[in-house]
Structures are given as structure tokens and as C-alpha cells.
């Protein structure tokens, strides 16, 4: 119950907290969380494929929360795979960076994709995968506050890929 209350408070805060955007190193944020997450996993192998990510203009604590939620989900939903493969990458178009995190875990049926980003929405049972059902709603709120979009594609038993965009901004 404590996790649920904590997650709800965090969800509420992300909607109203003042944003303090600066240029941030996405590589540092991702590397730090991947290392701390991997340290605690001894019962299975996780292969990480992480390309060099661009610097972005964003609120660092909020973007850190996006990565924490997405990386945690990739690790969690690939727990039943003997050898998990998680890839973090990006592409770009004229106005946005498009970030991606892909895993070879449980995946989900695309007919339920619209439910993913709702508060308390779960596509798997609590017995199968722990969680409060608030993390992806939080991700969506944060990315939208930054002027971006978030979406996912998946196939049951073959994994999922989550995308989010952040507007490009050049240093002066």
C-alpha cells in the first residue's frame, strides 16, 4: 500500500511541480540507473545495448524519472526470459529526438495499447509482474510537459518497445 501512495504522490507532483530545464546528459542518467539496477540482479543475464545519446534541454529530475520507469519496466517484464536483451537508442527528425527502449520480454497485445498510459492500468496481473500501474502514466505526463509524445509497440511473448520524443534545442 505504501508503494501505491508514494507513486500517487509522485504522479501528483509531476503535474504541478515547476520545471527547471537545463541541458542534461542523457548518457549519464541512463548509465547511472542501468548500473544500479544491474547490480541487484544475480539470477539472470541481461544484455544491454546502449548507443550514445544526445544532450537534451529538459528538467533533469523529471527526465531521470522517465528513464527509471522505462528501464525498470524493461527489466521487470523480461524477468521470465532466460537472457534478456534491452536496447536503448535514439533517432531524430528535424524538430525532435526520438528515444527508444526495447526489450525481448513479455510484450503485450497491441489492442490494449491505449490503456498503457492510464493511471492504475495494467496489462498483466499483479501476481505475474509487480507494480502499481502508475509508472507509465507518470512517464506520459512528464513527456507531455516537455512538449513530447510517448507511445509503444509490442507483441505478446516477443517484447515491447517504448518511444518518447523531446524537442531539440540548440545551445546558444
Q: What is the DSSP letter of 79?
A: T
Domain that holds residue 94: 2-167
Residue-level pLDDT at 5:
47
What domain count does the chain have?
1
| β-sheet bridge partners, residue 160 | 154
Please indicate, yes or no, if residue 99 is contained in any of the structural domains. yes
Residue-level pLDDT at 166:
98
Please indicate, yes or no, if residue 42 is contained in any of the structural domains. yes
- Choose among 118, 103, 120, 113: nearest CA to 151: 113
For the packed helices 135-145 and 2-16, what is the interaxial angle rounded to 10 degrees? 10
**Tally of CA atoms within 13 A in the half-sphere of 116 that contains its CB:** 23
Please indicate, yes or no, if residue 59 is contained in any of the structural domains. yes
Please indicate, yes or no, if residue 36 is contained in any of the structural domains. yes
C-alpha–C-alpha distance, residues 136 and 68, integer Å = 11
Q: Are 148 and 167 in contact (CB under 8 A)?
A: yes
Please indicate, yes or no, if residue 160 is contained in any of the structural domains. yes
Residue-level pLDDT at 28:
96
Residue-level pLDDT at 71:
94
Please indicate, yes or no, if residue 124 is contained in any of the structural domains. yes
Residue-level pLDDT at 162:
96
Please indicate, yes or no, if residue 53 is contained in any of the structural domains. yes
Residue-level pLDDT at 168:
96
E strands within the chain?
Answer: 21-25, 45-50, 55-59, 83-92, 96-103, 150-155, 159-167
**Tally of CA atoms within 13 A in the half-sphere of 145 that contains its CB:** 22
C-alpha–C-alpha distance, residues 172 and 2, integer Å = 44
Q: What is the pLDDT along the chain (172 residues), one digit of tens a residue?
A: 455 445 445 544 555 678 899 999 999 999 998 998 888 777 889 999 999 999 999 999 999 999 999 998 899 878 778 899 999 999 999 999 999 999 999 888 788 777 777 655 544 445 543 545 568 888 999 999 999 999 999 999 899 999 999 999 987 7
**Tally of CA atoms within 13 A in the half-sphere of 62 that contains its CB:** 26
- Cα maximum dimension of the chain: 51
Instruction: Please tell me the pTM assigned to this model.
Output: 0.83
Residue-level pLDDT at 121:
56
Residue-level pLDDT at 129:
38
Residue-level pLDDT at 16:
64
Question: What CATH number did the domain enclosing 109 receive?
Answer: 3.30.565.10
Please indicate, yes or no, if residue 172 is contained in any of the structural domains. no
Amino acid at each position: 500500500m505504501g508503494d501505491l501512495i508514494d507513486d500517487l504522490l509522485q504522479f501528483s507532483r509531476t503535474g504541478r511541480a515547476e520545471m527547471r530545464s537545463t541541458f542534461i546528459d542523457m548518457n549519464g542518467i541512463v548509465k547511472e540507473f542501468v548500473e544500479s539496477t544491474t547490480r541487484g540482479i544475480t539470477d539472470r543475464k541481461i544484455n544491454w545495448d546502449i548507443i550514445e545519446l544526445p544532450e537534451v534541454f529538459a528538467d533533469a529530475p523529471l527526465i531521470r524519472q522517465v528513464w527509471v520507469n522505462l528501464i525498470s519496466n524493461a527489466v521487470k517484464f523480461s524477468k521470465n526470459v532466460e537472457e534478456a536483451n534491452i536496447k536503448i537508442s535514439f533517432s531524430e527528425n528535424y524538430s525532435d529526438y526520438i528515444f527508444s527502449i526495447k526489450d525481448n520480454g513479455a510484450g503485450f497485445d497491441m489492442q490494449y495499447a491505449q490503456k498503457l498510459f492510464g493511471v492504475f492500468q495494467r496489462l498483466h496481473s499483479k501476481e505475474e509482474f509487480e507494480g502499481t500501474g502508475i509508472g507509465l502514466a507518470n512517464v506520459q505526463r512528464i513527456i507531455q510537459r516537455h512538449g513530447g509524445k510517448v507511445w509503444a509497440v509490442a507483441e505478446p511473448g516477443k517484447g515491447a518497445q517504448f518511444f518518447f520524443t523531446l524537442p531539440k534545442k540548440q545551445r546558444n
